[in-house]
Amino acid sequence: MSFSRRRFLGGSAVAALTAACGGARSGARDARGPLTDRTVDEVVSRALDAAKRGGASYADVRIVRRRTEQITTREDHVVSVGFGETYGVGVRVIVDGAWGFAATPTVSGASAESAAASAVAIARAARPALKRPVALAPAPVEKGAWKTPMRIDPFEVPLAEKAQYLLDLWPIVKDVRLVKYASGAFEALAEHKIFASSEGSIVEQTQTRVWPSFSVTAVQEGQFESRAADVPPMQAGWDYVLGSRLRADARSLAEDAVEKLRAPSVTPGKTDLVLAPSNLWLTIHESVGHPTELDRALGLEANFAGTSFATTEKLGKLRYGRDNVNLYADKTTPGGLATCAWDDDGVRTQRWDLVKDGVFVGYQTTRDQAGWIGEKASRGTSYAEDHKSVAFQRMPNISLAPDPKLRSLEDIIAATDDGVLISGNGSWSIDHQRYNFQFSGQMFHAIKGGKIAGPLRDVAYQSNSLEFWNACDLIGGPSTWELHGTLWDGKGEPSQANAVSHGCPAARFRGVNVINVNARGKT
């Protein structure tokens, strides 16, 4: 079996990717030098040939380099700097209806061939315990290259420049009365992968993600309040950081922290909530994102807060929310942390509905899951954290569609007689069926008579997933829609991290239970 990477991708795609990555294979190296076309061809060919000789009906190989960088600051000094890198080859096979997987940190034809043989042996060992043979949904052969759109590679920016960006925030806030502490951080994550399958697909992708963050703490008479920036992580380059509002908003963050310190505590009880996108995204993640993972719904995945209430007999029937609630999955959203051109099954990514006009209509699936619910094609949500991790179903970007009416946040506030406006993320908790939950935030403001009536503190809200979305009566227009997310969404055992975004407009939820969570230990 001969696999020529140049033949599959074509010279123009290879040249474009090389230019985008700043040189051959974005600087990735094995023990002998750059990851050349010849090395890739040898790794792919020998791995897939070995799998075929071992009796595999299907095989794929991934060459993955993953890099991370973290910088943290405290007031006027750097606290820590961290770097991480993994690099290697993962081989996955199907033998007699069973999956097998093995990996190696040595990127060479011989090591890939050995990993393929190990994967075949593992599949054969697993076969006696198999309850349901693996059946892959059909997928077109894919060939091409894709990369994160960006102007400045964060890994090419000098460390001192990135640290100085964070240190320059402290002088902006230090003279705000009662402000005592400030913390800054910058995280960057890059993944470069080549995927090839025995069906003929071969694709190459580079994803780069960044997250600048800043938090200010005010202290008075032993009491303290903090305010974190609402700048979200994004699939982007250093130019995103430079263009963010982190520096422009730094002083207002400090003033918010002081305002919270002096604010009265919320009065517990049912009230209307107006949630900014910077708060609502996490509630979407927990109450919609994880419940619509098919493996959780079937009880096949339970790590990190359990299974799902959205079981398969409810598909197409369950009233998830009001008629105005439309939630969709989309691995093509510009800037989305989970956005890419192909998943780790080699399936081209897409957008599809999870909740349509308030009704639960869709799951997240991979090629080996689609047939479980009678679907003929994968939704393209397979992902592995690195070369040594097995690919399985992971959350795509999941978002709440805005209302087509040009409704602003101010319009929603004006329509609210008595309520609370919440922005930013705070603490959260959800039960093992992704049903009952509690969320807090960063900033809270009372709404009285359609106007902001002043700040509050110690606010959290409680509901369950269905009551919450059925209480959503007003949704903001396109101008209020924002993309937020997390770099570190956990799932699986052994656990893996996935980066995922959630877009949403501002929205109002009627009669939600609000509680007083006192920062000094009282409730």
pLDDT average, residue stretch 235-243: 98
Report the alpha-carbon distance of residue 63 to residue 101 in Å, rounded: 14
Domain ranges in the chain with CATH number 3.30.2290.10 = 5-262
Counting Cβ atoms within 10 Å, is residue 323 exposed (0-12), middle (13-18) or buried (19+)?
exposed
H or E element in which residue 223 lies: strand 223-228
Report the alpha-carbon distance of residue 257 to residue 275 in Å, rounded: 19
What pLDDT score was predicted for residue 5? 53
**Is the Cβ–Cβ distance between 232 and 279 less than 8 Å?**
no
158 or 303, greater pLDDT:
158
Q: Which residues of 367-399 are buried (b: 16+ CB within 10 A; e: fewer)?
A: bbbbbbeeeeebbbbbbbbbbbbbbbbbbbbbb
**pLDDT tens-place string over residues 295-344:** 999 999 998 879 999 999 999 999 999 999 999 999 999 999 999 999 99
Ranges of beta strands (E only) in 346-393 are 351-356, 359-360, 382-383, 392-393
What tokens were used for 307? 């299974």
Nearest to 493 by CA among 317, 222, 306, 272: 306
Q: Which residues of 335-344 are buried (b: 16+ CB within 10 A; e: fewer)?
A: bbbbbbbbbb
Q: Rounded to the nearest 10 degrees, how much is the dihedral formed by the CA atoms of 456, 460, 462, 467?
A: 60
Report the alpha-carbon distance of residue 89 to residue 353 in Å, rounded: 34
Chain centroid offset of residue 323 CA: 27
**pLDDT tens-place string over residues 76-117:** 999 999 999 999 999 999 999 999 999 999 999 999 999 999
387 or 17, greater pLDDT:
387
Report the alpha-carbon distance of residue 444 to residue 193 in Å, rounded: 43
How big is the CA angle at 185 (ends 238 and 155), to the nearest 5 degrees? 35
How big is the CA angle at 327 (ends 323 and 333), to the nearest 5 degrees? 145
Give the pLDDT band of residue 9 (cuts 50, 70, 90).
very low
H or E element in which residue 17 lies: helix 11-21
Q: Which of 2-16, 314-328, 505-519 is predicted least confidently?
A: 2-16
What tokens were used for 264? 């009265």
What pLDDT score was predicted for residue 520? 43
What pLDDT score was predicted for residue 34? 60
List, in order, residues 6 or more apart from 353 with CB less than 8 Å away.
Answer: 326, 327, 328, 329, 361, 362
Q: Which amino acid is at 374?
A: G
Of all residues in the chain, the percent with pLDDT exceeding 90 is: 90
- CA distances (Å), 192 to each of 91, 146, 147, 497, in order? 16, 10, 9, 16
* Mean per-residue pLDDT over the chain, rounded: 93
Statement: 5-262 belongs to CATH 3.30.2290.10? yes
Write out 261-328 in H/E/C secondary structure: HHCCECCCEEEEEEECHHHHHHHHHHHHHCCCEHHHHCCCCCCCCCCCCCCHHHCCCCECCCCCCCEE
pLDDT average, residue stretch 122-148: 96
**What count of other Cβ atoms lies within 10 Å of the Cβ of residue 12?**
9
At 370 the three-state DSSP class reads helix
Q: pTM score, two decimals?
A: 0.93
- CA distances (Å), 143 to each of 9, 245, 291, 517, in order? 6, 38, 33, 53
List, in order, residues 6 or more apart from 215 with CB less than 8 Å away.
Answer: 182, 183, 184, 226, 227, 228, 229, 253
Of all residues in the chain, the percent with pLDDT exceeding 70 is: 93
Q: Which amino acid is at 33?
A: G
**Is the Cβ–Cβ distance between 93 and 390 less than 8 Å?**
no
Report the alpha-carbon distance of residue 130 to residue 146 in Å, rounded: 36
Report the alpha-carbon distance of residue 409 to residue 472 in Å, rounded: 14
Give the pLDDT band of residue 250 (cuts 50, 70, 90).
very high
**Is the Cβ–Cβ distance between 335 and 399 less than 8 Å?**
no
**Is the Cβ–Cβ distance between 324 and 475 less than 8 Å?**
yes
